[in-house]
Amino acid sequence: MALKLKKMPYYSGPQGPVVLVIMDGVGVGKYVEGDYVRSACMPTLDWLKANCPSTTLKAHGTAVGMPSDDDMGNSEIGHNAIGAGRVYHQGAALVANAVDSGSLYQGGTWKKLITNVKDHDSTLHFIGLFSDGNVHSNIHHLKSMLTEAKKEGVKRARIHALLDGRDVPPTSALDYILPFEAFLADLNADGTVDYAIASGGGRMKITMDRYEADWDMVALGWQTHVRGEGSLYPSAEVAIETLRGENPGVLDQDLPPFVIERNGEPVGRIQDHDSVIFFNFRGDRAIEITHAFEEEHFTKFARGPRPDVLFAGMMQYDGDAGIPKLFLVEPPHITRTIGEYLADAGERQLALSETQKFGHVTYFFNGNRAEKFNEDLEDYVEIPSDRVAYEERPWMKSAEITDALIEGIESGKYRFIRVNYPNGDMVGHTGVYEAVHIAMEALDLALSRLLPVVKKMKGILVITADHGNSDDMYEHAKDGSVKMDKETGRPKPRTAHSLNPVPAILFDPSNASHATLTAQKGLGISSIAATCLNLLGYETPEGYDPSLVKVD
């Protein structure tokens, strides 16, 4: 299809910019109890919903390319969908198809990995998020690969388990570890293979940093997985129980690292001639550890002697940069994003957020593309995130983001501006209720500062979210009742993303667009792209999902 936008004959857009605000992790709650968006003091958001055209959009499951509507959305695929204007099959679905069909095992990368360990009588290692949350990984993919490895004659395999508690219940690690240990025992029962968990730790403690926010996490992961250095335990179960006892109230995502030993020695150091698979399919928290394995001249931390291994990712995490060099499943090839269309049309754009979501509003929004479409027409602004626990500073960088956003709006340079406020997602993941209230109120304060500026500049504000989180902070039973924690007497915290819809609100104070909401129901966040293009005075591109608005 030709990459050309068609202008509307009867509407040329507002005098000021169209500003897309993505309130990360701010959904529309199903339950009153545990909806910390609803219970926070948010007069600006309440006013917008009551006085402006607004609706709700799907942001999970098949609406964002996941295998089923039981699968939650996430920031990566949410920004893919918003930026692409239509739905692509995403990592979980692509990998599930490759595993179920067996095509993964017919691919050249898998064959190289297996041949390498068989030729050298070495070890096959798996590093990744150890749950079935289906956001970064799925433990079922790991089990399938281990089963296949045994069939193909791999004698030794070691698993380096990054504990979740974020995309699954916050203290569910043993619900995965114990059945998995039984699974390994079955594989090992005939004595032909030796497959074992070798190390682990919480996903927010080691290995899975993103956007270079905290390389110390990656360094600690390298020390744990590769070098086998750290506290030694006879099993993952003992390690988790001991670390929980030493750190009362700790969530799985924050558990310190551990190393499994046999006869006083680490059971699974990564050594020359081994093969290593990072089995996360999502890229943002996989890139830094990939750099550590692949870069010859690496300077981010002192990694010591780098073992000569064959390394592969489940998918390619950055197609532009070719990271990693080897991968098992092809990522979705996303084209014709709204950013690409606007660059082709000569429209100036601004994208900004703080570090934790900067890659989402740039790389993921642009269809997994690291480079700009046009250097002369696009500006990206990254506000460095604080390197502290989010519950200790729940307002995050909302004030600084707003400062930069207001400057961009008032400059008159840009036709389209997109911004991500991370508070609802990053603080929502902590499970600390008081902090989530503050996070939401900080977000509302930011919105209150934007409205008069957008009005003054005669722009249009589109407010939405990529998925829910802070709207569903309590664990609920099937009957809707709140599950209570017997030790604290408080509701059990839910730290995962929700399955709730997200808001979509149009603030057009000068009524430039005369926009009204369409009557079409069941739309998802992929409709935001066409909406923004229509508000800018362009027709919906062929193949895009329908716009939310009709303009006059």
Which positions are catalytic?
A: 75
For every residue of 63-130, DSSP letters joined together read GGT-SSTTS---HHHHHHHHHHSS----HHHHHHHHHHHSHHHHSHHHHHHHHHHHHHT-EEEEEEE-
What CA–CA distance (Å, rounded) separates 311 from 327?
9
Per-residue CA distances from 167 to 133, 137, 313, 420, 492 (Å):
5, 10, 20, 20, 15
What CA–CA distance (Å, rounded) separates 117 from 153?
10
Q: Which two tokens stand for residue 90?
A: 């995403």
HEC per residue, 436-465? HHHHHHHHHHHHHHHHHHHHHCCCEEEEEC
**Cα–Cα nearest to 158, from 112, 191, 197:** 197
**Cα–Cα nearest to 389, from 353, 439, 441:** 439
Any idea which residue has 């109120």 for tokens?
441
Q: Which residues contact 498 (CB under 8 A, 6 or more apart)?
A: 27, 29, 30, 60, 72, 467, 468, 469, 471, 472
Residues, the chain, total? 552
> Which class for 136: exposed (0-12), middle (13-18), buried (19 or more C-beta within 10 A)?
buried
Strand partners, 199: 160, 259
What CA–CA distance (Å, rounded) separates 310 from 328?
13
Do the beta carbons of residue 459 and residue 14 sit within 8 Å?
Answer: yes
Burial 66-105 (b: 16+ CB within 10 A, else e): bbeeebbbbbbbbbbbbbbbbbbebbbbbbbebbeeeebb
Strand partners, 258: 200
Residue 168 phi, psi dihedral angles, 5° rounding: -135, 175
What CA–CA distance (Å, rounded) separates 513 from 7?
14
Residue type at 317 in one-letter notation: Y
> Which class for 119: exposed (0-12), middle (13-18), buried (19 or more C-beta within 10 A)?
exposed
What CA–CA distance (Å, rounded) separates 458 from 16?
5
Burial 22-46 (b: 16+ CB within 10 A, else e): bbbbbbbbbbeebbbbbbbebebbe
Do the beta carbons of residue 162 and residue 258 sit within 8 Å?
Answer: no
Do the beta carbons of residue 459 and residue 416 sit within 8 Å?
Answer: no
> Which class for 262: exposed (0-12), middle (13-18), buried (19 or more C-beta within 10 A)?
exposed
